[in-house]
Structure 1
Amino acid sequence: MTNSYFVGVDVGTGSVRAALVDRKGKVLRQCVKSIQTWNPENDYYEQSSQDIWSSVCHCVKDVIKDTKKENIKAIAYDATCSLVIFGRNGEPLTVSKTTKNEQNIILWMDHRAHAEAARINETKHELLKYVGGQVSLEMEMPKLLWLKNNLGNTWKQIWRAFDLTDFLTWRSTGTDTRSLCSTVCKWNYDASKMHWSAEYLTQIGLADLCHNNFEIIGQRVCEPGSAVGDGLSEHAAKELSLLPGTIVGTSLIDAHAGALGMFGCRARLDADDKKLESSLDNLEGKMALICGTSTCHMSLTHEPCMAHGVWGPYFGAILPGYFLNEGGQSAAGILLDFIVKSHPQYTNIKTKLFKDDFRHIYTYLNNLLEKMASERSFDDICYLTKDLHVWPDFHGNRSPVADPNLRGMISGLTMNSDEESLALLYFAFVQALAYGTRHIIDNLVEKYKRVPYTSMLFCGGLAKNNIYVQAHADICHLPAVIPDEQEMVLVGAAMLGACAARAFENLEATSKHMGGTGVLIKSKTSTHAYHNRKYHVFLQMLAHQREYEDIMNEK
């Protein structure tokens, strides 16, 4: 397989990306194409499966155009955990109050199903223990229940309901299979029995899904990295410009693909750091952070760890033989964008950058923070926010509080509206996201006695922000590793294809062979005491928000 290549496709929130990847996990070529999102009203986000598939075809054809088709051994996908609905004959079926069939996807970040999630959680069904004690309104069962309650005409016509990852493999092969990753993580599939629970579906009001042996939601569930059907269908192969029969790997959710890519990554160590090698290579000690629009916090254990507000343990959801725990922040990159773009100085800085080689605004703000710290004779930029504190849940809390109704808080604002005030506010939010990660870690290790973490690995857009990564290392008191190959979500997708094509022994071996190496970022022990104090303030802000709620609910 010396001239073997694999295509990885990642369908994110705002774009489709494809990459041509070699056996060493190196991305040789990639292509990006934006996809459309409709936002018809507050908290409603909808997409089109036709638009997404068209973008997939465009990107795949671009990345393989200079490669012999026979050398491309497999293709595999990852995608956001969005709900895709089809009517008879596989035609798109609307999920929208607009009734437009084109809009047949409820995006992962859509929060319309508040009431339905609450109803499901009221059942206190035993399966809910695998999602931190309560289902999230971002998962698929609340969204399906919303469709039943609000779009009866759609509900009566549903032929198939897919997770977006499973739509892509079905569209590629014509074979109706589902990934164990998507079903167990987002659909409340019973992985311990490898079967849908008719009792659960009936209890939550979705008994309709039990008909014909659960054919609407999938009768065959496969492990990630296994081959789907007979490979690419004639029709899909023509659309993708690949050979019919090209192997298609069972997919993963996008964040999980990033975690798969990173779990096999090894830190490059200096001679002085060799003593860290065994702890950094311990798979159970790794937390993978996939940092983009939102952030997902992934970790694996041999024994199950059940924790409130942290999803899982999901058996086999990424790697066979391991339980997955999944924490997360619903708004991360999108939150920083919101804070920066809503500040009075944003337009002025963008104008300035336009004249200065389009330097990225976050690079500009990071440099400004370093300058401010130097002018104040601070040993570290972290001290700049001594009097500025943030609780960052502007879009609710996914982990570990698991409360979509939590809101953001800021303490320490002034009337300043200059560039420095923007830099400080932005940095306070960066730190708040890192304190949120520490909150997840502490919840798992201290409260639920999980195996202690020894390192964090980062990929995604925010992983390219050195201040974001360093803040996490310092605040969580853990070393961080940034893979040399930045596009680890795409590499993770390609790994699924490589495993399906049997390029390596199994998926864990595939991850180790293709995971590559990364840069080690050490935690600054000199700032630990300071961050411990700020973390205490962080937790107090949560307690205060609860107190304010109680006061306002008094009668």
Structure 2
Amino acid sequence: MFSYSEKMFDQVYVGVDVGTGSVRAACVSSEGNILHHQTVPITVHNPAEHFYEQASQEVWQAVCHAVQNVCGELKEDQKVAGIGFDATCSLVVLDEQDQPLTIDQHTGEDKWNIVMWMDHRAAEEAEVINQNPHSVLQYVGGKVSLEMQTPKLLWLKRHLPDTWTKAGHFLDLPDFLTFRATGNATRSLCSLVCKWTYDGKKHSWDSKFLSDIGLEDLTRDDFRKIGSIVLPPGSVCGHVTAEAAQQLGVPQGTPVASSLIDAHAGALSLLTASREGPAGTLAVISGTSSCHLICSESRHDVPGVWGPYYGALLPGQWLAEAGQSATGALCDHVINTHPAANAALCNSKRAECVEALVYQLAESRGLSDPTTLTRSLHVYPDHHGNRSPLADPNMSGMVSGLTLSAGPDDLALTYLATVQALAYGTRHIVEQLRSSGHVIRSVMLCGGLAQSKLFTQTHADVLGVDVVVPQQQQLSVVRGAALLGAAAAAPGDLYTAFASFTANACSVTAPQRNHRRFHDLKYEVFKKMQADQLQYRVIMGQLSVSEA
């Protein structure tokens, strides 16, 4: 008989995904199959317009609760061999004792110590940084976004000097999680390259850039506050400490992988199921916002698109990252603010109900599908600014074709026009990527909107390519985090773990060709609305400060 120490175990990997409104943990088999998963909500604090904050202590408690639950489901012959984390690219501020420091200008409560990715407080600071073109900006599409960390850091220095002085660590949220698990303040190459202007090719910070924008204090002590040790995703950044082991419910000493941004973890998982491989596949992670990620062996500079980032996702690959600032959030907004919503919809699964209304309306008008219902209704969807390819946070939403109708049919039409507008936004991104040298043969989709037949079919029709959705797409991001854990458990590089995960079964939505001209004309309207809005800005810009 085997002794306990000699007993053979099935290796499993834990993935942890911290999204905008919840934490998800999963146990994943060595073949990449989800065994157990758990979701725990977390708070989004919105004290004022453009300010979105979270509490790192609450996030960590939710992580521990979720991991304990999924690991509690494991059988006796299953053992956690590695753990990986991903999270939103949000800024965590800790003092020298690793305790939360306030970033809340309105309440001053220390517990609110995370500036969320969607926080737009640093608009002025982004403009200041972009006024002096610097070589690092070529890696962010030519302009730093107010959603990135350097404008937010500059905002903190300007507006909360006490927090700035007391700060011991500034961490991206994914790196905060590995810090809590291991006690090591390493940083992930993914986060630093994509959001902090770290040079992934040279593997270094640019001291002159940081000094030029007023953040010279971050260059001291070998960049200790923002990261001295930078590791590629999936490499071992440490091992679970005794304290974290008790909190998480995993064995002490479990290897912990260097982390990924949440969208990038989703892309990693999607690419394991891609027929094309990393090259030629656009991964779209569609949640509250959407991220459009594509890898290439050669460098392509794309105006208005973040990157190219070297090694930020896969070793030796350049990554381009585009996105839409509000997708799922915009669809929810359309439903929740419409006067017919409460009367027309069931209490739960409101998006599914309104989508059913769309198809019912098409059927009532004798149409085989709903596409052409919006011939006279047009939406421009940049309600939370344009991330790509305009890189303009001041863009806003527009609607053309409003009537006095406010019933269920109007709700259905507005929702359909919004979904189509989001697809036209993706088409604009795809055109920009292709014009700069990227090849896109298919789109892989995951996230909340990937569950929508209307969303997937519309994107296939508008883009003219297959849209591929994995069977367990709603768990793609947390599966990507577990893949990092697999890489840490058997150190080599990320490709080794990538190859070991069995490709997920997928559904393929092929484009319908019968509506190509309709979508071409609607896209022409989309671009005209975009141009008109920019022209309105010029017209109104003629007002003097006193007149405004």
State if a TM-score over 0.5 links the two structures. yes
C-alpha separation in 2, matches of 1:461 and 1:429: 16
Tell me whether 1:502 sits opposite 2:504 in the alignment: no
Question: 1:466: how far off?
Answer: 1.1
Alignment of 1:299-448 (within 5 A): 299-350=294-345, 353-354=346-347, 358=348, 360-446=349-435, 448=436
Q: Say whether the 8 Å CA contact 2:335–2:351 is kept in structure 1.
A: no
Tell me whether 1:150 sits opposite 2:145 in the alignment: no
Q: Say whether the 8 Å CA contact 2:300–2:438 is kept in structure 1.
A: no
| Corresponding position of 1:490 | 478
| Corresponding position of 2:59 | 52
| Corresponding position of 2:278 | 283
Matched AA of 1:520 = V
Question: 1:332: how far off?
Answer: 0.6
| Corresponding position of 1:453 | 440
Q: Say whether the 8 Å CA contact 2:380–2:530 is kept in structure 1.
A: yes
| Corresponding position of 1:548 | 536
**Deviation string for 1:480-521 (max 9, x for gaps)?**
100012210010000000011118x53234234324231111
Structure 2 residue aligned with 1:168, among 140, 153, 177? Answer: 177
C-alpha separation in 2, matches of 1:296 and 1:248: 25
Tell me whether 1:33 sits opposite 2:20 in the alignment: no
Matched AA of 1:177 = T
| Corresponding position of 1:478 | 465
| Corresponding position of 1:462 | 449
Question: 1:211: how far off?
Answer: 0.7
C-alpha separation in 2, matches of 1:69 and 1:191: 40
Question: 1:377: how far off?
Answer: 2.5
Gaps of 5+ in 2: 1-7, 544-548
Distance 1:220 1:417, change over 3 A: same
Structure 2 residue aligned with 1:77, among 82, 85, 96? Answer: 85
Q: Say whether the 8 Å CA contact 1:265–1:512 is kept in structure 2.
A: no
Tell me whether 1:141 sits opposite 2:150 in the alignment: yes
Q: Say whether the 8 Å CA contact 1:69–1:243 is kept in structure 2.
A: no
Distance 1:239 1:2, change over 3 A: closer
Matched AA of 1:498 = A
Q: Say whether the 8 Å CA contact 2:382–2:397 is kept in structure 1.
A: yes
Which stretch shows the higher mean deviation, 360-369 or 176-185?
A: 360-369
C-alpha separation in 2, matches of 1:236 and 1:73: 15
C-alpha separation in 1, matches of 2:334 and 2:59: 29
**Deviation string for 1:368-393 (max 9, x for gaps)?**
22222222222431101111111100
Residues matched between the structures, number: 532
C-alpha separation in 2, matches of 1:483 and 1:521: 11
Q: Say whether the 8 Å CA contact 2:271–2:277 is kept in structure 1.
A: no
C-alpha separation in 2, matches of 1:546 and 1:207: 36
Question: 1:205: how far off?
Answer: 0.6
Paired residue secondary structure (2:109)? coil
Q: Say whether the 8 Å CA contact 2:449–2:455 is kept in structure 1.
A: yes
| Corresponding position of 1:273 | none
Paired residue secondary structure (1:92)? coil
Q: Say whether the 8 Å CA contact 1:459–1:482 is kept in structure 2.
A: yes
Paired residue secondary structure (2:110)? coil
C-alpha separation in 2, matches of 1:512 and 1:463: 24
Tell me whether 1:192 sits opposite 2:179 in the alignment: no
C-alpha separation in 1, matches of 2:499 and 2:515: 34
Question: 1:69: how far off?
Answer: 8.7
| Corresponding position of 1:209 | 218
Matched AA of 1:341 = N
C-alpha separation in 2, matches of 1:88 and 1:12: 27
Structure 2 residue aligned with 1:64, among 71, 84, 104? Answer: 71
Paired residue secondary structure (2:46)? coil
Tell me whether 1:7 sits opposite 2:14 in the alignment: yes
| Corresponding position of 1:277 | none
**Deviation string for 1:251-307 (max 9, x for gaps)?**
0000000000001104xxxxxxxxxxxxx4242110000000000000001111111
Matched AA of 1:172 = A
Tell me whether 1:518 sits opposite 2:525 in the alignment: no
Q: Say whether the 8 Å CA contact 2:289–2:325 is kept in structure 1.
A: yes
| Corresponding position of 1:237 | 245
Question: 1:113: how far off?
Answer: 0.2
Question: 1:325: how far off?
Answer: 0.3
Question: 1:451: how far off?
Answer: 2.8
**Deviation string for 1:164-217 (max 9, x for gaps)?**
000000110001100000000000001121011111100111000011010000
Q: Say whether the 8 Å CA contact 1:288–1:457 is kept in structure 2.
A: yes
| Corresponding position of 2:28 | 21
C-alpha separation in 2, matches of 1:212 and 1:390: 51
| Corresponding position of 2:3 | none
**Deviation string for 1:121-165 (max 9, x for gaps)?**
112100000000000000001000000000010011110000000
Q: Say whether the 8 Å CA contact 2:9–2:78 is kept in structure 1.
A: no
Q: Say whether the 8 Å CA contact 2:423–2:458 is kept in structure 1.
A: yes
Paired residue secondary structure (1:409)? strand
| Corresponding position of 1:246 | 254
C-alpha separation in 1, matches of 2:103 and 2:541: 35
Matched AA of 1:33 = V
**RMSD of aligned residue pairs (Cα, Å):** 1.3
Distance 1:56 1:390, change over 3 A: same
Question: 1:36: how far off?
Answer: 1.3
| Corresponding position of 1:260 | 268
| Corresponding position of 2:546 | none
Q: Sequence identity, in percent?
A: 45
Question: Which consecutive aligned stretches of 4+ in structure 1 deviate over 4 angstroms post-superposition?
Answer: none
| Corresponding position of 2:113 | 104
**Deviation string for 1:429-455 (max 9, x for gaps)?**
011001000000001112x2x232100
Matched AA of 1:39 = N
| TM-score (norm: length of structure 1) | 0.94
Paired residue secondary structure (2:24)? strand
Distance 1:255 1:368, change over 3 A: same
Paired residue secondary structure (1:414)? coil
**Deviation string for 1:323-355 (max 9, x for gaps)?**
0000001111011111111001111134xx24x
C-alpha separation in 2, matches of 1:283 and 1:261: 11
| Corresponding position of 2:237 | 228
Q: Say whether the 8 Å CA contact 1:317–1:323 is kept in structure 2.
A: yes
Distance 1:262 1:389, change over 3 A: same
Paired residue secondary structure (2:92)? strand
Matched AA of 1:496 = L
C-alpha separation in 1, matches of 2:441 and 2:78: 42
| Corresponding position of 1:269 | none
| Corresponding position of 1:182 | 191
Q: Say whether the 8 Å CA contact 2:9–2:77 is kept in structure 1.
A: no
Paired residue secondary structure (1:288)? strand
Paired residue secondary structure (1:89)? coil
